[in-house]
Amino acid sequence: MADMQITINGQTKQIEQGSSVRDLLEKLNLSGPVAVEIHQQICPKKIHSETILKNDDVLEIVTIVGGGS
């Protein structure tokens, strides 16, 4: 499949056309808790596998880090 362009946290990336949010997270090695927003809309984890990314999508991905004292 051909590549398409998306923006993740302000950076342009090329990904394979037909990739889901889950595919992208796996490619980015993000296996822990994350929040994903596509065009300023939250994408719930339960639909990551069925949410297919489109050319020129704009995503914000936030990882959740535990800790503190």
Domains delineated in the chain? 3-63 (3.10.20.30)
Rounded Cα distance between 60 and 34, Å, is: 10
Other CB atoms within 10 A of residue 19 CB: 19
Residue 48 pLDDT? 97
Closest by CA position to 61, among listed 27, 38, 44, 31: 38
Residue 31 pLDDT? 81
Residue 49: band (very low, low, confident or very high) from pLDDT cuts 50, 70, 90: very high
| pLDDT tens per residue, range 10-21 | 999 999 999 999
pTM: 0.88
Closest by CA position to 4, among listed 48, 52, 39: 52
- DSSP state at residue 46: G
- 3-state secondary structure at position 34: strand
- 3-state secondary structure at position 14: strand
